[in-house]
Structure 1
Amino acid sequence: MEALLGIDLGTTGVKAAIFAAVDGRPLASAFVDYPLFHPRPGWAEQNPADWWQATLKAIRSCLEQGARVGVQPSAVRGIGLSGQMHGIVLLDEAAQVIRPCIIWADQRSEPQCRWMTGQVGAARLIELVSNPALPGFSAPKILWVREHEPELFARVRTVLLPKDYIRYRLTGRMAMEISDAAGTCLLNVAEGNWSSAVLEAIGLDPALLPPVVPADAVAGTITEEVAALTGLLAGTPVAGGGADNACGAVGNGVVRPGLALVSIGTSGVVLAHAEAPHVDRSGPTPRIHTFNHAVPRAWYLMGVTQGAGLSLRWVRDYLGLPERALERWTDLDAYELLTREAEGAPPGCAGLLFLPYLQGERTPHLDAYARGGWIGLTAAHDRRHLIRAVLEGVAFSLKDCFTIITAQGLQLEQVRATGGGAKSPLWRQIIADILGVELAVTNASEGPAFGAALLAGVAAGLYPSVEAACEATVRVVENTAPRPELVTLYARFYEQYRALYPALRTVFHALAGLS
Structure 2
Amino acid sequence: MDVLLGVDVGSTNIKGVAYTSEGRSLSVASRPTPTQYVGLRQAQHDPETLWQEVASVLREVVDALPGHAHVAGMAIASVGEAGVPLDAHGRALYPIIAWYDERSVPQAEWWAKTVGVTEIYQRTGLPLGHTFTLNKLLWLREKELEVFNRISRWLCVADYIAYRLTGEQCMGYSLASRTMALDLRCRRWSTEMLDHAALEASVFPELRPEGSLVGHVTAEAACETGLPKGLPVFVGGHDHICGSLAVGACYPGIVLDSTGTTEAELVTLDAVEEYLGRADLSFCLGCHVVRGRYYAIGSILGAGSMLHWLATLLWSAEGFEREAALQALTQAAGQSVPGAHGLYILPYLAGAGSPERDPTARGLFVGLSLAHTRADIARAAIEGLAYELRLLWEALERFTGQHIVKVISIGGGARNTFWNQVKADVTGRDLEVPEHVEAVTLGAAILAGMGSGIYRDEKDAQKRISISTHRIHPQAENVAFYDGQYRLLMREIRPLATALGRKSVVLYRPA
TM superposition score normalised by structure 2: 0.93
Equivalent residue number for residue 28 of structure 1: 27
Equivalent residue number for residue 59 of structure 1: 58
Deviations 1:431-475 (A, max 9, x none): 112222111112461120111111110011000012221222143
Deviates more, 1:415-424 or 1:361-370: 361-370
Equivalent residue number for residue 508 of structure 1: 504
Corresponding letter in the other structure for 1:508: S
Deviates more, 1:423-432 or 1:396-405: 396-405
Corresponding letter in the other structure for 1:106: D
- How does 1:328-407 map onto structure 2 within 5 Å? 333-407=324-398
Give the Å deviation of 1:413. Answer: 2.0
Corresponding letter in the other structure for 1:230: T
Which whole-Å CA distance do the structure 2 matches of 1:35 and 1:318 have between them? Answer: 22
Equivalent residue number for residue 310 of structure 2: 315
Query: Structure 1 pair 44/287, CA: closer, same or farther in 2 (3 Å)?
Result: farther
Which whole-Å CA distance do the structure 2 matches of 1:208 and 1:10 have between them? Answer: 24
Give the Å deviation of 1:198. Answer: 1.2
Do the aligned partners of 2:84 and 2:160 also contact (CA within 8 Å) in 1? yes
Deviates more, 1:245-254 or 1:443-452: 443-452
Which whole-Å CA distance do the structure 1 matches of 2:101 and 2:72 have between them? Answer: 36
Is 1:498 matched up with 2:490?
no
Deviations 1:225-269 (A, max 9, x none): 111122211111111111011011011111222211111111101
Which whole-Å CA distance do the structure 2 matches of 1:412 and 1:449 have between them? Answer: 26
**Secondary structure, aligned partner of 1:336:** helix
Which whole-Å CA distance do the structure 2 matches of 1:370 and 1:509 have between them? Answer: 7
- How does 1:177-188 map onto structure 2 within 5 Å? 177-188=172-183
- How does 1:58-97 map onto structure 2 within 5 Å? 58-67=57-66, 70=67, 72=69, 75-97=70-92
Give the Å deviation of 1:389. Answer: 1.9
Deviations 1:371-409 (A, max 9, x none): 224332111111111222222222222223212211120
Counterpart among 96, 120, 129 of residue 125 in structure 1: 120
Equivalent residue number for residue 135 of structure 2: 140
Equivalent residue number for residue 203 of structure 2: 208
Equivalent residue number for residue 111 of structure 2: 116
Which whole-Å CA distance do the structure 1 matches of 2:436 and 2:211 have between them? Answer: 19
Give the Å deviation of 1:88. Answer: 2.7
Is 1:462 matched up with 2:443?
no
Give the Å deviation of 1:161. Answer: 0.9
Query: Structure 1 pair 55/26, CA: closer, same or farther in 2 (3 Å)?
Result: same
Equivalent residue number for residue 45 of structure 2: 46
**Secondary structure, aligned partner of 2:134:** helix
Query: Structure 1 pair 388/506, CA: closer, same or farther in 2 (3 Å)?
Result: closer
Which whole-Å CA distance do the structure 1 matches of 2:273 and 2:29 have between them? Answer: 37
Which whole-Å CA distance do the structure 1 matches of 2:65 and 2:199 have between them? Answer: 45
Equivalent residue number for residue 447 of structure 1: 439
Which whole-Å CA distance do the structure 2 matches of 1:194 and 1:108 have between them? Answer: 25
Give the Å deviation of 1:116. Answer: 1.6
Give the Å deviation of 1:51. Answer: 1.5
Do the aligned partners of 1:129 and 1:186 also contact (CA within 8 Å) in 2? yes
Equivalent residue number for residue 409 of structure 2: 417
- Give 5+ residue unaligned stretches, structure 1: none
Do the aligned partners of 2:86 and 2:154 also contact (CA within 8 Å) in 1? yes
- How does 1:182-201 map onto structure 2 within 5 Å? 182-201=177-196
Which whole-Å CA distance do the structure 2 matches of 1:129 and 1:226 have between them? Answer: 35
**Secondary structure, aligned partner of 1:303:** strand
Q: How big is the alpha-carbon RMSD for the aligned residues of Structure 1 and Structure 2?
A: 2.2
Query: Structure 1 pair 295/281, CA: closer, same or farther in 2 (3 Å)?
Result: closer
Give the Å deviation of 1:484. Answer: 3.4
Deviations 1:14-39 (A, max 9, x none): 00001111x10111111111332332
Which whole-Å CA distance do the structure 2 matches of 1:221 and 1:493 have between them? Answer: 56
Do the aligned partners of 2:362 and 2:502 also contact (CA within 8 Å) in 1? no
Corresponding letter in the other structure for 2:177: A
Which whole-Å CA distance do the structure 2 matches of 1:491 and 1:140 have between them? Answer: 40
Corresponding letter in the other structure for 2:114: Q
Deviates more, 1:406-415 or 1:293-302: 406-415
Corresponding letter in the other structure for 1:267: T
Query: Structure 1 pair 514/16, CA: closer, same or farther in 2 (3 Å)?
Result: same
Give the Å deviation of 1:360. Answer: 2.0
Identity score, percent: 32
Counterpart among 102, 119, 126 of residue 97 in structure 2: 102
Is 1:232 matched up with 2:224?
no
Query: Structure 1 pair 104/399, CA: closer, same or farther in 2 (3 Å)?
Result: farther
Which whole-Å CA distance do the structure 2 matches of 1:260 and 1:274 have between them? Answer: 11
Which whole-Å CA distance do the structure 1 matches of 2:172 and 2:233 have between them? Answer: 12
Do the aligned partners of 1:269 and 1:398 also contact (CA within 8 Å) in 2? no
Deviates more, 1:219-228 or 1:349-358: 349-358
Do the aligned partners of 2:364 and 2:497 also contact (CA within 8 Å) in 1? no
Do the aligned partners of 2:255 and 2:404 also contact (CA within 8 Å) in 1? yes
Give the Å deviation of 1:512. Answer: 4.4
Which whole-Å CA distance do the structure 2 matches of 1:177 and 1:81 have between them? Answer: 11
Do the aligned partners of 1:278 and 1:290 also contact (CA within 8 Å) in 2? no
Deviates more, 1:476-485 or 1:190-199: 476-485
Deviations 1:84-105 (A, max 9, x none): 1111311112222111111211
Give the Å deviation of 1:490. Answer: 2.1
Which whole-Å CA distance do the structure 1 matches of 2:159 and 2:317 have between them? Answer: 41
Query: Structure 1 pair 190/482, CA: closer, same or farther in 2 (3 Å)?
Result: farther
Give the Å deviation of 1:333. Answer: 4.1
Which whole-Å CA distance do the structure 2 matches of 1:346 and 1:339 have between them? Answer: 13
Corresponding letter in the other structure for 1:255: C
Which whole-Å CA distance do the structure 2 matches of 1:300 and 1:244 have between them? Answer: 13
Query: Structure 1 pair 56/391, CA: closer, same or farther in 2 (3 Å)?
Result: same
- Give 5+ residue unaligned stretches, structure 2: none
Corresponding letter in the other structure for 2:456: P
Counterpart among 465, 470, 481 of residue 489 in structure 1: 481
Which whole-Å CA distance do the structure 1 matches of 2:436 and 2:268 have between them? Answer: 18
Equivalent residue number for residue 3 of structure 2: 3
Deviates more, 1:2-11 or 1:93-102: 93-102
TM superposition score normalised by structure 1: 0.93
**Secondary structure, aligned partner of 1:39:** strand
**Secondary structure, aligned partner of 1:340:** helix
Deviations 1:13-71 (A, max 9, x none): 200001111x101111111113323322122222222221110111111122223xx45
Give the Å deviation of 1:278. Answer: 6.1
Equivalent residue number for residue 14 of structure 1: 14
Do the aligned partners of 1:307 and 1:394 also contact (CA within 8 Å) in 2? no
Give the Å deviation of 1:188. Answer: 1.3
Deviates more, 1:279-288 or 1:497-506: 279-288
Which whole-Å CA distance do the structure 2 matches of 1:506 and 1:6 have between them? Answer: 40
Equivalent residue number for residue 289 of structure 1: 284
Work out the number of aligned pairs and report it: 505
Give the Å deviation of 1:10. Answer: 0.5
Give the Å deviation of 1:220. Answer: 1.5
Which whole-Å CA distance do the structure 2 matches of 1:419 and 1:367 have between them? Answer: 25
Do the aligned partners of 1:280 and 1:288 also contact (CA within 8 Å) in 2? no
